[in-house]
Amino acid sequence: MQKKLLVNFPDRQGSLEGNFNISDLCPHCNRPIDPIVKSAHSDSRYASDSIVKVAIVLLCPSSDCSQFFLDWFNVKIGQYESIKQTNRLEYVYKPILKNDLPTEVNEKFPEFNAIYSQSLQAESYGLDQIAGVGYRKSLEFLIKQYAIHLFPDEEDRVKKETLNNTIMNRLCAFPKLQTLAKAATWIGNDETHFVRKHEDKDITSMKKFIKSAATFISADLDADDALEFTQQN
């Protein structure tokens, strides 16, 4: 909702007025609200024709919530002591984890990419139990999709067999990849089962093994490209 607010600067006596599109949903109780504006502050000293960050301190008016939160804006200052433009920025406290797996693998196996990225998001939000189950599912998609890439004529059989069988029977040419996939599966199974067998390993180890397996697969896909190129020329 649009509100006219006065912004304070660290080095300036008077405040500047600007239009701000402030939140109309409380991030604590998730109710639609008309928040109580407590104050608005710039992070930088006043200068005409500059861009500053402005934090607005808001209070939820619901009596059973009454919690403070912040809105955060990019603000353009005009030439004549005016605020020209305000843009609200996304304000999150938890950093969203980035998908840093090889692009070749993410592009070649989009379902794997989607599941892995959602698991990262869950982990970012502190949902480590859900994230663990997601990483286990992403591993299954990575290995099965790669096995189908290796054995396109046996797609149906690969889909139906257990993940362990796919690892043991389809990845025989790459014993180290087999080991990585097996280790990630063992930890992944701990994430989905009631009793944990490997107390000393967690999703950090599983992610490390998945990343190494993805890097291995990416190198193999690159080698296929290189082979095609050299054979053509």
Measure the CA dihedral 129/134/136/142, to 10°: -160
Q: Say which residues have a Cβ less than 8 Å from residue 6's Cβ, sequence separation at least 6.
A: 15, 16, 17, 40
Regarding 122 and contact with Zn ion (CB under 5 A), the answer is: no
- For Zn ion, how many residues bind (rule: CB under 5 A)? 6
Which one of the spans 7-15, 65-73, 124-132, 157-165 is the region binding Zn ion (CB under 5 A)?
Answer: 65-73
CB of 45 vs Zn ion, minimal distance in Å: 33
> What is the Cα–Cα distance from 229 to 233, expressed in whole angstroms?
6
Which of 106-143 are b and which e, b meaning 16 or more Cβ less than 10 Å from the residue's Cβ? bebbeebbebbbebbbbbeeeeeebbbbbbbbbbbbbb
Q: How far apart are the first and last CA of the chain?
A: 62
CB of 59 vs Zn ion, minimal distance in Å: 9
CB of 18 vs Zn ion, minimal distance in Å: 25
- Judged by CB under 5 A, the residue of 55, 59, 65, 219 near Zn ion is 65
Q: Say which residues have a Cβ less than 8 Å from residue 163's Cβ, sequence separation at least 6.
A: 139, 140, 143, 144, 185
CB of 67 vs Zn ion, minimal distance in Å: 6
- Judged by CB under 5 A, the residue of 29, 36, 96, 172 near Zn ion is 29
- Judged by CB under 5 A, the residue of 16, 54, 58, 60 near Zn ion is 60
Which one of the spans 62-70, 82-90, 109-117, 208-216 is the region binding Zn ion (CB under 5 A)?
Answer: 62-70
Regarding 26 and contact with Zn ion (CB under 5 A), the answer is: yes
Regarding 28 and contact with Zn ion (CB under 5 A), the answer is: yes
Instruction: Give the nearer residue to Zn ion in terms of CB position, either 67 or 192.
Output: 67
Chain residues that interact with Zn ion, rule: CB under 5 A = 26, 28-29, 60, 62, 65
